[in-house]
Amino acid sequence: MAGMNILATGSCLPERTVTNEELSHSLDTSDEWIRSRTGIAARHIAEGQTTAGLAAQAARCALKKAPAGFDVSEIGLIVCATITPDDHTPGCACQVQKELGLDGSVLAFDVNGACSGFVMALQIALSMLEDGQTALVIGAERLSSILDWSDRSTCVLFGDGAGALLVQKDSRRCVKAYARTLPDKADLLRAPASGAIAMKGSGVFRFAVKAFSEIYEHCVETEGPLKNRPDAVICHQANLRIMEKACRSHGLGMDCCFVCLDHTGNTAGASIPIALDEAISSGFLQRGMDTLLTAFGSGLSMAGLYFRY
Ligand code: ACO
């Protein structure tokens, strides 16, 4: 697949932080249980903010960091990964298009790929762009709106937020992409239209570790100009133990794996772009590093992308 140049990243986390300790007041749980099983210490919960509002704020944040001279009118495509849009239609991407004052020459649409959605959205954007054209690719979620706050086995895992990337298609660079969905495993993780997220946690855990390996084999351990060992790994931020087990199985130390779920929880489609933004802002991810994005989620689905940042 022809490659990409990430021009800028941005993210937006709602102001309100809910700690494990706070959850233990209303649920039969504890900071120790949540932290030791998942690595999560806190999550952000939107109060009075919409999914499109979070998405637009992440997009503005990315635009502020764009290279000098970049104009918002250079965006030709907006793709937003979300399973929690404010409305069935128009989609979140269309609302961001309006918020940013972009005219009708721009195409905007949403992708429903759950936690793999952002990587899928990036793959779709790259396949639609011509060389040199720019897309705004967003992941935005308000998962708090589809949680059963009395179900301790799910609600402690998730959070709200948004992340955005300004990406330019660059055919001189190489990107390795992989994605697939497994409908026979769909029952392990569902969020019905009129209900809350329900999950068989241990089955999803096992799938996630296998999905990492499958993505790694297809994207990293194949011929091409990129290194056969990534400098940086940005996993879907669902569970620290999943990341540790997956990295260990390929001989990767956790020093190459970026972790921010301690303060975000699992933000589904928003998790990878938030992690990318934080990895870049903190200096963890530097230009020239061969970087692997790996995601898994409902569907069940998996999606990966390997590129040089
Ligand atoms: N606090 C205290 N106890 C709890 C909690 C809680 N918050 N939640 C569940 N428990 C209890 C259960 O009731 C169960 O008790 P029982 O044995 O008496 O029935 C017990 O803890 C289960 O414990 P473990 O088997 O040790 O749990 P496990 O180590 O499997 O961890 C977890 C559970 C964290 C959910 C894990 O399986 C996991 O992370 N799975 C992957 C989930 C995931 O990544 N989902 C993301 C999907 S992304 C998307 O597309 C939306």
Same domain, 121 and 61: yes
Distance 139 CA to ligand 1 centre (A): 25
Handedness of CA 191, 137, 258, 250 (dihedral sign): positive
Catalytic residues: 115, 236, 266
Instruction: Take residue 59 and report the two structure tokens written for it.
Output: 């997009």
Same domain membership, residue 189 and residue 240: yes
Q: With contact defined as beta carbons under 8 Å apart, do 159 and 265 qualify?
A: yes
Q: How far apart are CA 209 and CA 203, in angstroms?
A: 10
Ligand 1 pocket member 297 (CB < 6 A): yes
Atom of ligand 1 at shortest range from CA of 301: 50
Domain, as residue range, for 297 = 173-308
Do 127 and 256 share a domain, yes or no? no
Distance CA 92, CA 50 (A): 10
Cα 185 from Cα 164, distance rounded (Å): 30
What region, left, alpha or beta, does residue 66 occupy, with left being phi > 0 and alpha being psi -120 to 50 degrees?
beta
* DSSP letters spanning 44-87: E--SS--HHHHHHHHHHHHHHTSPTT--GGGEEEEEEE-S--SS
**The domain boundary residue, chosen from 127, 143, 172:** 172
- Ligand 1 neighbourhood includes 90 CB (under 6 angstroms): no
* Token pair for 136: 């705004």
The pLDDT assigned to 1 comes to: 72
Residue 154 sits in the same domain as residue 67:
yes
Q: Are 129 and 259 in the same domain?
A: no
**CA angle, residues 279, 280, 284, in degrees to nearest 5:** 55
CA distances to 82, 93, 165, 224, 305 from 96, rounded to whole Å, are: 13, 5, 13, 36, 25
Q: Would you state the structure tokens that stand for residue 264, as one six-digit string?
A: 């975000």
Q: Do the Cβ atoms of 231 and 257 come closer than 8 Å? A: no
The domain spanning residue 119 has which CATH number?
3.40.47.10
C-alpha span between 122 and 9 (Å, rounded): 13
pLDDT at 2: 74
Tokens of 96: 């961001």
The total number of structural domains that make up the chain: 2
pLDDT for 194 = 87
**Residue 35 Cα to ligand 1 middle (Å):** 11
pLDDT in 10s for each residue of the chain, 309 residues: 779 999 999 999 999 999 999 999 999 999 999 999 999 999 999 999 999 999 999 999 999 999 999 999 999 999 999 999 999 999 999 999 999 999 999 999 999 999 999 999 999 999 999 999 999 999 999 999 999 999 999 999 999 999 999 999 999 998 999 999 999 999 999 999 989 999 999 999 999 999 999 999 999 999 889 999 999 999 999 999 999 999 999 999 999 999 999 999 999 999 999 999 999 999 999 999 999 999 999 999 999 999 999
Residues 94 and 187 in one domain: no
* Residues 171 and 112 sit within 8 Å (Cβ to Cβ): no
Assess contact for 269 and 139: CB atoms under 8 A.
yes
| 162, 243: one domain | no
Do residues 157 and 45 lie in contact, with contact meaning Cβ atoms separated by under 8 Å?
no
Kindly state the helix (H) or strand (E) to which residue 294 belongs, with its residue range: strand 290-297
What DSSP designation does 285 have?
S
- DSSP letter at 24 equals H
> Considering only CA atoms, which residue is closest to atom 10 of ligand 1?
153
**Whether residue 203 has its Cβ less than 6 Å from ligand 1:** no
- Residue 114: CB within 6 Å of ligand 1? yes
Q: Identify the domain boundary among 112, 147, 172.
A: 172
- 215 and 166 part of one domain: no
Instruction: Please calculate the CA angle 154-42-52 and round it to the nearest 5 degrees.
Output: 75
